[in-house]
Amino acid sequence: MSQSLNLKGALQQPVVVLQGLVLPVILLVLWQYNSGLGSSHAYAFVPLQNIYFAFLQLLETGELWLNTWGSLKKAGLGFLLGSTAGLILGALLAYSKVFNALVSPLFNSIRQVPLLGLTPLIALWFGNGEEAKIFIIALASFFPLVINTFQGLSHYDEKYSEVARMYRFSFWHEFKRIRLPQALPHILTGLNLAVPFTWITTTASELLFNAGAGLGNLMMKAEINAEMDILLVCA
């Protein structure tokens, strides 16, 4: 009986994978069909073979590697700085009522402002170089970590605190053995949210501050030169 169930599950798995490929294949076919309807359509819907050849060209010249590495470096550094600062601030907000009362109103006000709306001010502070991009990227990962760390550390089962007091746990012992394990799912959720925000903001910051290596910079050059195939490779 168990063998038949295992066989059924093994047969269903490829079917599920194939079902997931149906819509992408249909979209690719429609895209290729539209690209053959005329020059105006071919500009908006670049033929798939042109995109493939542009990809190979970028690989050969090394532009794709150089700009991808440039984007990954900025994204990694911004994510590290932003998430670390977010963890620290979230913990301080959860543990100190005085600090929470002082900082929380300002924090909640700033996080309502769209990140890209801060670019003029950031450009004034940091210029148009790498520092400005990294600062915006750090902010993208900062806010999800603050909110989720605060929620994880401030909402916990009180009975565990009673146990900690009974056994006279130190602050760090209680934090390590009780608070942190309970907060970990919230923190991981914050990190999960921060990763896509970080990558999207990386490309957006490169489009806004068009200097240095990065996929956003390569996309901007491709748009200026009307090289839609290269733009789609970078996207």
pLDDT, position 22:
82
Task: Check whether residue 7 and residue 74 sit in a common domain.
Answer: no
Q: Are residues 69 and 132 in the same domain?
A: yes
Based on the fold, state whether residues 124 and 33 are members of the same structural domain.
no
pTM of the model as a whole: 0.80
Domain membership of residue 53 (yes or no) is no
- Look at residue 156 and tell me whether its pLDDT is greater than 60: yes
118 and 26 in a single domain? The answer is no
pLDDT on residue 6: 55
**Residue 17 within a domain:** yes
Burial of 135 by CB count in 10 Å (0-12 exposed, 13-18 middle, 19+ buried)?
Answer: middle
Tell me, rounded to whole angstroms, the distance of Cα 101 from its chain centroid: 30
Beta carbons of 208 and 116 less than 8 angstroms apart? yes
Domain hosting residue 31, numbered range:
1-45
For residue range 106-135, what is the model confidence (pLDDT) as tens digits?
998 888 888 878 888 888 888 888 888 999
Structural domain contains residue 52:
no
Q: Are residues 120 and 213 in the same domain?
A: yes
Q: Sorting pLDDT into bands at 50, 70 and 90, what band is 5? A: very low
Least confident of 7-16, 70-79, 113-122, 192-201: 7-16
- Among 6-15, 58-67, 82-91, 112-121, name the one with the lowest average pLDDT: 6-15
Which pLDDT score is estimated for 74? 93
Q: CATH code at 193?
A: 1.10.3720.10
